[in-house]
Amino acid sequence: MSANGKTPFLTPQQELFLAYYTNPKSDTFSNAYQSAIKAKYKEDYARNITAELPDWLQENLGDMTRLRKAEKNLDEVQNFNVVDERIKVDMFYAERLGKQKYSARTELTGKDGGAIEFLDKSDDDLAKLAGLKD
């Protein structure tokens, strides 16, 4: 069963239309009218097949679109270097452009990048260092 609960089987004429319409090697590729005529549909139906977009055609075109997307994603996933590089680039942008939200770096330094001495600081001095007091 298909997603809408109808049977996924096509008539031979529907299969023929899809073969002509979707095969890049077909002389009627991507021309719905010519593909329908070649599949022996009546002139009226052939002229309106994409406007009417019957369920069987809509489902099969949708399935083909989803399949192409899935194949593209699989090709990308199989090439881990591409995925890894994309992730690295995305992380670079996120860490640089959204520092407050995405930065993994936490650094506390004292004056001129030196160490912060906490041992002899009062609570007020520590609050000032943390930016909690003026």
For 59-98, b where at least 16 C-beta lie within 10 A, e where not — what string? Answer: bbeeeeeeeeeeeeeeeeeeeeeeeeeeeeeeeeeeeeee
Range(s) of the domain holding residue 30: 12-100
Asked, for residue 116, whether it belongs to a domain, the answer is no
Mean pLDDT of 16-23: 91
Asked whether the predicted pLDDT for residue 13 surpasses 90, the reply is yes
Asked, for residue 76, whether it belongs to a domain, the answer is yes
Asked, for residue 24, whether it belongs to a domain, the answer is yes
Note the pLDDT of residue 132: 75
The count of domains in the chain is 1
Asked, for residue 26, whether it belongs to a domain, the answer is yes
Asked whether the predicted pLDDT for residue 91 surpasses 50, the reply is yes
